[in-house]
Amino acid sequence: MATALNLLFSLMAMPGLKPISKPFTESKPFTFWVEKPKPVCGPIDAVCRPLAAAVCTSDVHTVWEGAVGERHDMILGHECCAEVVSVGELVRDFKPGDRVLVPAITPDWSSLEAQAGFAMHSGGMLAGWKFSNIKNGVFSEFFHVNDADGNLAHLPEGMDITEACMLSDMVPTGFHGAELADVQFGDTVLVVGIGPVGLMAVAGAALRGAARILAVGTRPVCVEAARKYGATDFISYKNGPIDEQVLALTGGKGVDCAIIAGGDVDTFIPVVKILKPGGRIGNVNYLGSGDYVKIPRADWGVGMGHKLINGGLMPGGRLRMEKLAALMTSGRLDVKPLITHVFDGWDKLPQALQLMKDKPQDLIKPVVRL
């Protein structure tokens, strides 16, 4: 049987491997390499091999925090571009050798949830997020893609493979934040967190016509990138409460909408405070800990302030990939500022994972060419 070399994480002992006894907060990645059988291709599916892969903060949540639950005997990773190795007999639009974009979210498009307009939840809440969530991820010599015609997209001619990786998750998630917040022409928008997702939220808000974008973040490399993407004002956590700074910058008016792309369950408190009645919050931040999201009762209009809080997982699928890729090939979106660290070779994946956990001052996003 063919085998694949995988970067695998586990909280339990693996067959044939010694149990891991180090504490879950150990600074080193809770990961190790193993061999596993090559995935089998179903009639509408594909098996691919990654050309390049990117590490996400969600991978950090998975390895060190647990977040949406423990996983066992599962391969890490959900951001990559790839080459098709094999396809099922019913796949029409892809063949072995094709270079493809791979979305982090790969819905089952015949599901009732997809028919209801929420394909990202096909099979249950968040179940469209399959890689390293409910099945093996992409940090492997070979990985499986369900519904190849519905989920893969052809890699545009000439697109750099490191930049293509940004289309898996960072671009669609950040842009979805702007959609959830329903950014309109002329809006004043707050973006909380300007890591790679927040930077794409800034870009998405600007493309949708925001007149003013207030960005919360302090790392110079991120501030510089946010300015390129359209941020007009910057707020530092170090200079006092976010809500007080926003009100000072807006003459006490607050903002029309906000995109939360960083923080924790307490972040909603200042954001609700500075949201105008009729305003919208779009949350695309992965809340890795805490039992409850905190909403200030009075500032939420005692429940009647028409302040909408909308959180959502990015849409996946082929059409989404093709449209976002078109923004890049047309020159309307440049993702190069996101990519600060590029490595070559499988042995660099653990280093990239550790970088994403440590978040040094010069980091936005690491990518590994394979």
Which pLDDT does position 20 carry in this prediction?
Answer: 30
How many residues appear in the chain? 370
| pLDDT score for 68 | 62
Q: What is the pLDDT of residue 27?
A: 40
Quote the CA–CA distance of 266 and 268 in Å, as a whole number: 5
Backbone φ/ψ region at 124: left (φ over 0), alpha (ψ -120 to 50), beta: left
Q: Which residues touch 26 (CB under 8 Å, ≥6 apart)?
A: none
Whole-number pLDDT of residue 1: 42
| pLDDT value for 70 | 66
Q: How do 99-102 and 212-216 pair as beta strands? A: unpaired
- Digit-by-digit pLDDT tens for the chain (370 residues) are 444 445 554 433 233 222 232 333 334 445 677 888 899 999 999 999 999 999 998 888 777 765 566 667 788 999 999 999 999 999 999 999 999 999 999 999 999 999 999 999 999 999 999 998 889 999 999 999 999 999 999 999 999 999 999 999 999 999 999 999 999 999 999 999 999 999 999 999 999 999 999 999 999 999 999 999 999 999 999 999 999 999 999 999 999 999 999 999 999 999 999 999 999 999 999 988 889 999 999 999 999 999 999 999 999 999 999 999 999 999 999 999 999 999 999 999 999 999 999 999 999 999 999 9
Side-chain half-sphere exposure of 249, counting CA atoms within 13 A: 22
Q: How far apart are CA 34 and CA 236, in angstroms?
A: 43
Triad 293, 297, 302: Cα angle to 5°: 135
Query: Given this model, what pLDDT does residue 19 score?
Result: 26
Q: What is the pLDDT of residue 211?
A: 98
Buried b (16+ CB within 10 A) or exposed e, 154-175: bbeeebbbbbbbbbbbbbbbbb
Q: How far apart are CA 119 and CA 124, in angstroms?
A: 10
29: left (phi over 0), alpha (psi -120 to 50) or beta: beta
CB 292 within 8 A of CB 267: no
Q: Residue 348: its pLDDT value, please?
A: 94
Please state, in angstroms and rounded to a whole number, the distance separating the CA atoms of residues 174 and 176.
5
pLDDT of residue 14: 32
Domains parsed from the chain with CATH numbers: 3-169+314-369 (3.90.180.10), 172-311 (3.40.50.720)
Half-sphere exposure of 247 (CA within 13 A, CB side): 13
φ/ψ (deg, to 5) at 365: -145, 130
